[in-house]
Structure 1
């Protein structure tokens, strides 16, 4: 599959890669250059491979409160929240951002590899609720504008920053399947740990907006960035990657996102999650290596034994060191604890960090 921006990426000589069935730009110039452009200035990403599912109807709030460990009904219109779908065992199926558009209207953004799975999940659990669920992913594109100079770019193009985890509407040229009006959605969200927004727009408007953003960021030493930089950026900030850092095998407490559990109602997986919370499980942490580049599956060791496993690893362009994310025995999870990470049968020294490795 290809996003509607594929030809624009090709014009920029993007190096493409397959990602969950999509042909996506891995990088344009280099992963490190694109990473540092976002950290220091500004960058844009095509994230149109992500899903878009709407839930509308008089029971929408009650239904989503049942689906999530987060009290979604507490959101005001124009607010959004990070949360996750749990299975009956309290384990994370997928993480997502839920947006409240109105009294009885929401939408959420599943990950690219789980959109159909999540659509079936919510549909199967909607029996008994007066809701209408629609997968509008094939009608929607999304462009992320990220970096410390992102607000300057917004102002130049006549937009305003909506605020962190808030969103607003701006006049567009085409009917938006999510809003049902001539609007684009500008959301104060992202996957880089930098200030920025994500434009959620009809496919017909994507190329024009991409070109305007590309022109604006080029005047600020900004760059278009691919999946490679998106991955290294999120790893430096300890952000989970669905299917890598969890895959229906971890709960929110293990994954260090316990803040999403604030729902005192009867949500899916609640009983098992309460039981798991009292058990002694591993916990998600970051790791900074003295040398070597860690990868998924590397063993984490201490005192001559295995104490955990790396789920994501890379070289940090900011630190110029190998960094990792993974799960570790709680007894060794204190910050600055020394551990070893085995890479190709060689042990490399590392220290434990909070998941947000680059502050």
Structure 2
């Protein structure tokens, strides 16, 4: 029987990705994430995290949204609708950007791929897929462009880690590369055939490692998943869940919507003012460019020991609460606690030196914390 929500409306069941059966066969544990039933782990969070740093991990990210924008005015439309200079992105490349509310708050962070001169693919976060599609549709009036949510037609699989390129090159059924894999640069894409079906492969990811994201028609998703696992077995590839993905992206200093990003935050507060080109005007959310000198800013914090601050824990200077952690964990790679937090600017040192008088309240115990530049972890090459 459906469980009622607080408003008396039955709660919706989380959606399954096309790979649900594959995850069950591999013994995955599941969680509801953004309205989707997603694998949180297969064996252990730590093992999956370390596999991605040392070899490779395979992630189901089919909960993400895929929205096609095309037409002669598609570039001009996206310049208006989004924060970035999308019309300047060359065919074959991708750009990290944001869709903003009128007041400058972040509706979602996105990756936009330019497929053709008049064709763009917008990748949205799972929980925001419908709102992004709706916002784009609402903003397209007056432009020679169309917006089509194609999310239900595709699965998205991420192959991440130092051995990802070799694994993809050895995957059975992957042929006819538009570019040799080494020539697909970071934030660029190429195409392959898999079982006769065209696939888009992008050198993007959310782990801080080298790797690819593969867009595959739903009907071929399970076949591709199995082929990648088979090719990767000799190279240390393991399936990896949301828990490992979260600690990997935290080490890499990558924001998560609902934690570091929200409608209450403008890009500059999150250290992402660069997504808006200098001097850009005439776009939805232009208010984000207004100065907000007293607004909390996102910082990195590190601590000693094993007790890590978590989302919602307070950051203090003396007895005064000056901020709040948005994401935190004991870093599997670095071996000490790390966190991202929004903190009042006046509580931070002005000379760039590490603040030694900040503490994190970890269940009633104040843990000294040091301001640390993001990212916490950066791969060697």
Shorter chain as denominator, the TM-score bin is over 0.9
Aligned partner of 2:11 in structure 1 is: none
The one of 275, 283, 295 aligned to 1:267:
283
**Structure 2 length as normaliser, TM-score?**
0.89
Aligned partner of 1:106 in structure 2 is: 120
Runs of 4+ in structure 1 off by over 6 angstroms are none
Structure 1 residue 278, shift from structure 2 partner = 5.0
Aligned partner of 2:8 in structure 1 is: none
Aligned partner of 2:337 in structure 1 is: 322
| Aligned partner of residue 219 in structure 1, secondary structure | helix
- Asked whether 1:138 is paired with 2:137, we answer no
Counterpart CA distance in 2 for 1:230 and 1:336 is 28
The equivalences for 1:173-188 within 5 A come to 173=195, 182-188=197-203
Check the 8 A contact 2:301/2:371 in 1, yes or no.
yes
Check the 8 A contact 1:335/1:354 in 2, yes or no.
no
Aligned partner of 2:206 in structure 1 is: 191
Check the 8 A contact 2:168/2:231 in 1, yes or no.
no
The one of 203, 206, 212 aligned to 2:227:
212
Aligned partner of 2:169 in structure 1 is: 155
Counterpart CA distance in 2 for 1:64 and 1:335 is 40
| Aligned partner of residue 44 in structure 1, secondary structure | strand
Aligned partner of 2:9 in structure 1 is: none
Aligned partner of 2:217 in structure 1 is: 202
Counterpart CA distance in 1 for 2:98 and 2:118 is 20
Structure 1 residue 154, shift from structure 2 partner = 2.0
Deviations 1:142-197 (A, max 9, x none): 110101111111222356242100001112346xxxxxxx4100001000000001
Aligned partner of 1:280 in structure 2 is: 294
The one of 162, 187, 196 aligned to 1:165:
187
**Structure 1 length as normaliser, TM-score?**
0.94
Q: Where does structure 1 lack aligned partners over 5 or more consecutive residues?
A: 175-181
Check the 8 A contact 1:335/1:353 in 2, yes or no.
no
Counterpart CA distance in 1 for 2:114 and 2:310 is 37
Counterpart CA distance in 1 for 2:296 and 2:83 is 20
Distance 1:194 1:335, change over 3 A: farther
| Aligned partner of residue 371 in structure 2, secondary structure | strand
The one of 340, 359, 362 aligned to 1:340:
359
| Aligned partner of residue 96 in structure 1, secondary structure | strand
Computed over aligned residues only, the root mean square deviation of the Cα atoms, in angstroms, reads 1.5
Structure 1 residue 330, shift from structure 2 partner = 2.5
Structure 1 residue 132, shift from structure 2 partner = 1.2
Aligned partner of 1:349 in structure 2 is: 368
